[in-house]
Structure 1
Amino acid sequence: MPFSGERIYWLNDDQARPEAAPQNLPAKVDVAVVGAGYTGLTAALHLARAGRNVVVFDAVAVGHGASSRNGGMVGPGLHKLGITGLVNTYGEARAIAILGEGLRALDHLQTFLEEERIECDLTLAGRFRGARTPAHYGASARECDWLRAKIGLPSYNVPKAEQRAEIGSDFYHGGVVYVRDGGVHPRKLLLALVDKAFEAGVRILAPCAVTGLRRGLGGTEVQTDQGVLNAREVVLATNGYSDRRSAVLNCRVVPIETGACAVGPLTPEQMAELTPKARMHGETGRIFMWYRPTPDGRSFIFGGRFGAGGASLAAREAAFRRSITRVFPQLADAPLSHVWSGQIAYTADHSPHLGQVDGVWLAGGYCGSGVTRAIYFGTKLARRMLGQSDSETAFDALPFNSVPFRPFAPWGAGMLVRWHQMKDNRDLRAARG
């Protein structure tokens, strides 16, 4: 949830303009979409173009959640279980299919933006993933070789002696460059989707909270804080912002709070030192930091699980400063212009999912890699609802199960984060000597 004093970098200037004009609640629609983020808007767009009468609801505002709070990094997404975990769980053939789906999702995003002529500062400058320890470098190099051989992922290893060509830091022990990763301006992408949806005839009601769903013979009664309507079909696209009002999805994902900050403005010389090739960046580790230059090349955005939930602005800034200066000590006195938080959604199997459960269409559980996946899954979900071809994904055979002991899951996730941080600190101490 937002905290007092938060400032979101992407909402500067005209990107903060209101998107949805007030509209009356219709009595009946073909499809009600709950959640006006990337997934919901993409699904609504495709459904409306196919002739469906679609209304999109959001409890707060269009793109209030992760779609306006993420880092804007795009890529294949890979998988949180890692190669070994995937192969051990599903076998090599299915693991290859799941990982290959990430490349198809990225291809889809590129094609979609080109065909729709959406300007959102897309750049595929690649991503450098730094290895925190020598052991991490060896594991990353082996993973890089496997991905290149098995799914054709363009990537290459960078030894420590050569990493200054990628990053203005000596902190890492080498790393890997993933060539096809990149970035977008997430708010520009969101607003473009809004405009496309309006053009297709989609109605957006925001703020208008959906408070309950009641299945009937003729469809679903959608209860909102502005009245009731009947929908033939319902899409839940609330992801990390699911709650008891979207119970079918809420019981299948665990919301996890993450934070982000913008450092700058910086000089062109500073930016060139930090990232000589203007790449996206990440690192190995259980609790890791991601970072990237802003589209205008004047600031850097850092993100990760920093600062405990409910922490003050000062505590969050201090947590960011410690993590940033660990990699870039030259930024010790650089200004933090923006600090904000958001929620991502994890699943029990660390995989994203889409499909129909209890008569409701669902898509989400992107596990922190949501920009590319949300556009892809929103499209696939709409195609499936319309009975169109090319709606299949490698994730279809994976059951979208409820999270065990769901009411206690956020507490358990917080404890696991702290445990992983302790283990990461131990590894760093060992690597230093």
Structure 2
Amino acid sequence: METVFTADARMTSYWWERSPPETSVLDELPATADVLVVGSGYTGLHAAIVLARGGRKVLVCDAGQVGFGCSTRNGGQISTSVKPSFDSLAKAHGEAVARRIFEDGRRSLSWTEDFIRSEGIDCDFRVVGRFHVAHNSKSFETLAASIRNQPKGLEVPAHVVPRAEQRSELGSDIYHGGIILEKHASLDPGRYHAGLVRLARQAGAEIASSCKVTAITRSGDGFSVETVRGRVAARNVVLATNGYTGPLSQWHRRRIIPIGSYIVATEELPEALVDKLIPRDRVVSDTRRVLYYFRASPDRRRILFGGRVSMGETDPRKSGPLLHQEMLRLFPQLSGYRVTHSWMGYVGYTFDTLAHTGEQDGIHYAMGYCGSGVGMAGYLGMRVGQTILGKAEGRTGYGETSFPSRSYYFGKPWFLAPAVHVYRLRDRLGI
């Protein structure tokens, strides 16, 4: 039976080829820490960098290898990270809060670029722009209207690409035009994460892999943190687990929906073919509720294609052929080219499709990036660090909203399969 996989295909992240997760283990846990950070992704590492540079003794604990989670499994696309519209946010939280959230979203994008450049992180960061494409004509009109009617004072550089001009941006006729969000960017998430690990350690933070935190309890003015490798007394705790949030904190678990996002990488392609498919090196996403997102690899020799192709969670060996099939539907030119990497990672969704940060039972947190966390996770991690240091600039619009849950939800998304079914039906019917 013919397979879409190459003979040496790997069911691991393409980004791990250059930046594999660390296998080293901290020799001995410290007995005490000023701040213990749970999770070594973008959120936790940015919090650790700010805190360690602020003079705090910081310990970062991760249940798995450092870099094992979605911070090294994502597509490397950086946006302004705000999914709800301004009007819907204003209706739910008031115009002032909505404006602060949108300002934070825009600031997260520029802040990420400034941070990478000022810290000298070599991670193929590029401001390439996003081509957000419409899966039907109705969606195109909605996109075009959103550019014409941007909230005053919150405008971003963008322009409309009608379907007749789509080939100048994308080698596919499936879509119905779209918009270019000119400041969106791309990077190699594995190399970005490795750079953050280096900076955190240079600042004095200790990072413990294979050190699952099993319990957090109040103890005097701080916390007693139980791990599989021993107990640590900490003045402050940061929960930075996002899509990997488990039973450690039931309050957070009831508010985060872990959803698998699946990606494949093609084998090496002729440069001329990549130039036809994505001529301007944009990152691309579409308007489906169950969306696809794709881009060229940093060396422009592969296509990385991601999305959700199953009702429930599945194995990359099963999702890979399905993603390959959808990729060929969009790009018939890729017929005959196979897949070298197929992988998945858990993103953290929320019931209001908004990220959240704050303090619960004394534990500081930032999570719920809804698939747009490459910029926002680091930004809010940095703000959490500032908050613990007592700096006023740590306050964000994202901390001014309640963090909703739902009745009968305890961390396992039993509703995911029927929701995906309904969303796909609505995508097909254009409603």
Q: TM-score, normalised by structure 1?
A: 0.93
Report the Cα offset of residue 91 of structure 1.
Answer: 4.4
Aligned equivalents of 2:282, 2:13: Cα separation in 1: 22
Equivalent in the alignment of 1:29: 33
Aligned equivalents of 1:410, 1:125: Cα separation in 2: 35
SS at match of 1:193: helix
**What residue ranges of structure 1 are gaps of 5+ in the alignment?**
429-433
* Contact 1:131 1:284 (8 Å CA) reproduced: yes
What is the 5 A alignment of 1:136-215? 136-147=139-150, 149-215=152-218
Deviation by residue 1:228-249 (Cα, 9 ceiling, x = unmatched):
1111110000110010024342
Aligned equivalents of 2:411, 2:239: Cα separation in 1: 22
Equivalent in the alignment of 1:7: 12
Match of 2:378 among 375, 378, 394: 375
What is the 5 A alignment of 1:121-132? 121-132=124-135
Q: Mean alpha-carbon deviation: is it higher for 324-333 or for 285-294?
A: 324-333
What is the 5 A alignment of 1:255-404? 255-404=258-407
Amino acid at match of 1:49: R
Amino acid at match of 1:361: H
Amino acid at match of 2:389: L
SS at match of 1:395: helix
* Contact 1:20 1:204 (8 Å CA) reproduced: no
Aligned equivalents of 2:277, 2:151: Cα separation in 1: 27
* Contact 2:34 2:58 (8 Å CA) reproduced: yes
Q: Compute the RMSD of aligned alpha carbons.
A: 1.9
| Compared CA separation, residues 241 and 281, structure 1 to 2 (3 A) | same
Aligned equivalents of 2:169, 2:345: Cα separation in 1: 29
* Contact 1:25 1:226 (8 Å CA) reproduced: yes
* Contact 1:235 1:360 (8 Å CA) reproduced: yes
Equivalent in the alignment of 1:431: none
Q: Does 1:49 align with 2:53?
A: yes
Identity between Structure 1 and Structure 2 (%): 35
Aligned equivalents of 2:122, 2:155: Cα separation in 1: 28
**What is the count of residue pairs matched by the alignment?**
423
Report the Cα offset of residue 227 of structure 1.
Answer: 1.2
Report the Cα offset of residue 346 of structure 1.
Answer: 1.0
| Compared CA separation, residues 415 and 408, structure 1 to 2 (3 A) | farther
Deviation by residue 1:362-384 (Cα, 9 ceiling, x = unmatched):
11110100110011001111111
Report the Cα offset of residue 282 of structure 1.
Answer: 0.7
Equivalent in the alignment of 1:217: 220
SS at match of 1:244: coil
Aligned equivalents of 1:408, 1:223: Cα separation in 2: 22
SS at match of 2:226: strand
Report the Cα offset of residue 174 of structure 1.
Answer: 0.9
* Contact 2:86 2:151 (8 Å CA) reproduced: no
* Contact 2:263 2:342 (8 Å CA) reproduced: yes
Aligned equivalents of 2:65, 2:317: Cα separation in 1: 27
* Contact 2:312 2:417 (8 Å CA) reproduced: no
Deviation by residue 1:171-217 (Cα, 9 ceiling, x = unmatched):
11111000001101001011111111111111111111000111122
Q: Does 1:85 align with 2:67?
A: no
Aligned equivalents of 1:423, 1:113: Cα separation in 2: 39
Deviation by residue 1:296-315 (Cα, 9 ceiling, x = unmatched):
11111111112344534443
Equivalent in the alignment of 2:413: 410
Match of 1:58 among 44, 62, 74: 62
Amino acid at match of 1:76: T
* Contact 2:50 2:385 (8 Å CA) reproduced: yes
Amino acid at match of 2:299: D
Report the Cα offset of residue 20 of structure 1.
Answer: 4.3
| Compared CA separation, residues 288 and 182, structure 1 to 2 (3 A) | same
What is the 5 A alignment of 1:227-242? 227-242=230-245
Q: Mean alpha-carbon deviation: is it higher for 392-401 or for 138-147?
A: 392-401
Greater fraction of residues in helix: 1
Aligned equivalents of 1:52, 1:91: Cα separation in 2: 36
Q: Mean alpha-carbon deviation: is it higher for 92-101 or for 239-248?
A: 92-101
Aligned equivalents of 1:252, 1:378: Cα separation in 2: 18
